[in-house]
């Protein structure tokens, strides 16, 4: 080579981790308040509020991505994201120590980059870059401090770095009144992607799950934060994406890796744990506690944990017997439960006779408010409902065909008898959405469309098929 890197080389090895943040995993785009009166809609342009009839508010919070209701249905904890291409702005988001750490990591990366010879496709194979804690921030820092050296090394491909931005995630409380919100305290701002937040059932603390993109031992860590602006405490460094509070608000249940992380597509060994984090008054315990190991599991990064009001811990995991071949390990997860202190064993929730009916995405299950039913989506577009009393599986949404085979958002419960999910608009007319939001009544076996009149800016990249981005 002539001393310049091939096209896209730096993007591939550093910013590729940033692209993973967008991902293709379905998320909870609609979240009903505990009283069932208001839905928080994480629309294509940000937060909007809606009622059970589908009446939608104007845009309230730009680029809101994740929402969790407080117990009283009058407040929301929101995660919103903004972009910055300025290192001064990015470094102001984090502590002085973390800013110094990112700078040191970036300098180390630059030294490796400048010293490397040969085809840059081999760079990541021959050079260890797992130490980068915020890859996008690395690009922003290097562009601000070493632009000349990067231009000389990358040649014309330097132009690809011109618009690379770091993402600033903000966790903030908003007060809800009718279909409007007012800004409350900011819990934290970070350069890491936040993948999940869940307000404690007491309303006095928050569970935050953030991405650690370059780590080879697991991409997520779970944190508990005692109050806005308080000091977050790490609960688990090797956690899956979806932990949960126990019903009494005193523990966090989560799945963590017990072996080296092998990538999102590979089942790996882990443990279902419950960590004490709050005392009887709901205050976060300052001293680190020992986690209670509940079950050994085989899981992926999207394995989910949900806790019911009666004390059960429901989780998704693979079901196979070791030793086995990779083919015998199976491709799909199922659902299981246990009751710490009551049931000394793990209980299978989906009867084997019903296993094929639940499809391939059990890790995106949600439990009804009363804990009697579980919704399970499928990549084919199917939405199934498991009755935990009878073990029977029914269909709320039948299998769909063609381009509609995906999960636009994770189904969510408004009440024990009403489930909200995406249904394909199979008779789509010009200007209509590809998908509709449906509120389905299980007793009636029918649903009402809520999203028919929602504006284009609200459904873009949400209820319409994702827009294709041009190749670099």
Question: pLDDT digit string (tens) for 190-236?
Answer: 998 899 999 999 999 999 999 876 554 457 899 999 989 888 999 98
Q: Is 100 helix (H, G, I), strand (E, B) or coil?
A: helix
Cβ contacts of 261-268, under 8 Å, gap ≥ 24: 261/215, 261/216, 261/217, 261/218, 261/219, 264/219, 264/300, 264/301, 264/302, 265/300, 266/300, 267/298, 267/299, 267/300, 267/318, 267/329, 268/298, 268/299, 268/300
Q: Which residues pair with 172 in a beta bridge?
A: 78, 186
Per-residue pLDDT in tens (0 to 9) along the chain, 472 residues: 344 444 344 544 454 444 344 445 678 999 999 999 999 999 999 999 999 999 999 999 999 999 999 999 999 999 999 999 999 999 999 889 999 999 999 999 899 888 888 665 666 667 777 778 888 899 999 999 999 998 888 777 677 777 889 999 999 999 999 999 999 999 999 998 899 999 999 999 999 999 876 554 457 899 999 989 888 999 988 888 999 999 999 999 999 988 765 555 667 889 999 999 999 998 999 888 899 999 999 888 889 999 999 999 999 999 887 777 777 777 789 999 999 988 779 999 999 888 888 888 999 999 999 999 999 998 888 899 999 999 999 999 887 665 556 788 999 999 999 999 999 887 777 667 889 999 999 999 999 999 989 999 999 989 986 654 333 3
The position carrying tokens 């209980």 is 347
The position carrying tokens 């903004």 is 82
Identify whether the C-beta of residue 222 lies closer than 8 Å to the C-beta of residue 243: yes
Query: What tokens were used for 426?
Result: 């199979």
Measured in residues, the chain has a length of 472
Tens-place pLDDT, residues 399-409: 766 555 678 89
From 40, 41, 34, 66, select the one nearest 309 (Cα to Cα).
Answer: 34
What's the pLDDT at 4? 44
Determine how β-strand 166-177 pairs with β-strand 75-84. antiparallel
Which sequence spans correspond to the domains of the chain? 9-20+86-164
Return d(Cα 204, Cα 5) in angstroms, integer.
51
Return d(Cα 275, Cα 253) in angstroms, integer.
6
Phi-psi region of 118 (alpha: psi -120 to 50; beta: other; left: phi over 0): left
For 40, 268, 411, the CA distances from 368, given in Å and listed in that order, are: 17, 29, 11
What's the pLDDT at 11? 45
Return d(Cα 380, Cα 20) in angstroms, integer.
23
The position carrying tokens 């009494």 is 248
The position carrying tokens 């730009």 is 62
Q: What would you report as the CA-atom Rg of the chain, rounded to the nearest whole angstrom?
A: 23
Identify whether the C-beta of residue 191 lies closer than 8 Å to the C-beta of residue 168: yes
> Helix axis angle, 135-145 relative to 147-154, nearest 10°?
100
């Amino acid at each position: 080579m002539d001393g310049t890197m091939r096209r896209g080389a730096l993007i591939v090895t550093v910013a590729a981790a940033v692209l993973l943040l967008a991902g293709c995993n379905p998320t909870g785009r609609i979240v009903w308040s505990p009283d069932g009166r208001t839905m928080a809609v994480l629309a294509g342009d940000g937060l909007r509020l809606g009622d059970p009839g589908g009446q939608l508010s104007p845009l309230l919070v730009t680029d809101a991505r994740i929402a969790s209701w407080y117990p009283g249905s009058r407040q929301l904890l929101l995660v919103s994201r903004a972009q910055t291409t300025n290192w001064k702005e990015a470094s102001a988001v984090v502590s002085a120590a973390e800013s110094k750490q990112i700078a040191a990591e970036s300098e180390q990366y630059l030294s490796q980059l400048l010293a490397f010879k040969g085809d840059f496709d081999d760079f990541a194979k021959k050079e260890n870059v797992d130490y980068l804690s915020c890859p996008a921030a690395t690009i922003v820092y290097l562009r601000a401090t070493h632009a000349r050296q990067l231009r000389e090394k990358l040649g014309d491909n330097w132009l690809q770095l011109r618009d690379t931005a770091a993402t600033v995630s903000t966790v903030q409380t908003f007060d809800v009144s009718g279909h409007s919100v007012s800004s409350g305290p900011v819990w934290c701002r970070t350069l890491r992607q936040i993948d999940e937040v869940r307000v404690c059932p007491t309303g006095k603390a928050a569970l935050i799950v953030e991405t650690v993109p370059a780590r080879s031992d697991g991409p997520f860590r779970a944190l508990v934060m005692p109050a806005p602006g308080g000091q977050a405490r790490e609960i688990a460094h090797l956690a899956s994406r979806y932990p949960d509070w126990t019903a009494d608000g005193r523990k966090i249940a989560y799945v963590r890796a017990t072996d080296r992380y092998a990538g999102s597509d590979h089942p790996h060994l882990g443990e279902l744990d419950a960590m004490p984090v709050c005392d009887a008054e709901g205050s976060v315990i300052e001293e680190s506690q020992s986690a209670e190991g509940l079950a050994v599991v085989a899981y992926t990064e999207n394995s989910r944990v949900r806790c019911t009001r009666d004390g059960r811990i429901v989780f998704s995991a693979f079901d196979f017997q070791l030793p086995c071949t990779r083919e015998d390990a199976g491709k799909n997860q199922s659902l299981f439960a246990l009751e710490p202190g009551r049931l000394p064993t793990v209980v299978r929730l989906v009867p084997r006779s019903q296993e094929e009916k639940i499809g391939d995405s059990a890790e995106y299950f949600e439990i009804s408010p009363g804990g009697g039913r579980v919704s399970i989506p499928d990549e084919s577009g199917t939405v199934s409902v498991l009755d935990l009393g009878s073990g029977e599986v029914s269909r709320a949404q039948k299998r769909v065909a063609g381009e509609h085979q995906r999960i636009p958002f994770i189904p969510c419960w408004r009440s024990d008898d009403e489930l909200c999910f995406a249904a394909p608009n199979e008779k789509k007319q010009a200007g209509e959405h590809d998908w509709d939001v449906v509120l389905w009544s299980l007793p009636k076996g029918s649903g009402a469309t809520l999203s028919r009149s929602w504006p284009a800016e609200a459904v873009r990249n949400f209820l319409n098929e994702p827009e294709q981005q041009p190749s670099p």
